[in-house]
């Protein structure tokens, strides 16, 4: 499972450890079944290095751009659930 905000690995099992993004530094105080806890990645953008992006085919670029847009939409909704 990947973090919806940064794409990082989600750590934990929701039984003995709260499920959280690898980029969350402090999970103290959370119950094991309280997750998932996502990071606060700036602007909720997908990280793709320019050199990697430039080497993609046009079809793949369209797919990546669409997924990045969808991830930003989902990340925004997660923040609205407070």
Pairing mode of beta strands 20-21, 10-11: antiparallel
15, 29 contact by CB (below 8 A): no
Q: pLDDT-based confidence at 12, cuts 50/70/90?
A: very high
Q: Which residue has the tokens 């050199």?
A: 51
* Averaged pLDDT, 8-25: 89
Report pLDDT for 82.
47
Report pLDDT for 79.
52
Which two three-digit tokens encode residue 30?
């959370």
The neighbouring-strand residues paired with 37 are 20
Taking the C-alpha atoms of residue 63 and residue 82, their distance in angstroms, rounded to an integer, is 30
Report pLDDT for 26.
84
């Amino acid at each position: 499972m990947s973090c919806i905000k940064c794409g990082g690995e989600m750590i934990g099992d929701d039984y003995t450890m709260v499920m959280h993004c690898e980029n969350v530094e402090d999970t103290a105080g959370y119950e094991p079944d309280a997750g998932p806890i996502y990071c606060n990645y700036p602007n909720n953008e997908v990280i793709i290095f320019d050199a990697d992006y430039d080497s993609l085919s046009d079809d793949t670029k369209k797919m990546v751009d669409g997924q990045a847009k969808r991830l930003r939409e989902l990340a925004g909704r997660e923040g609205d659930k407070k």
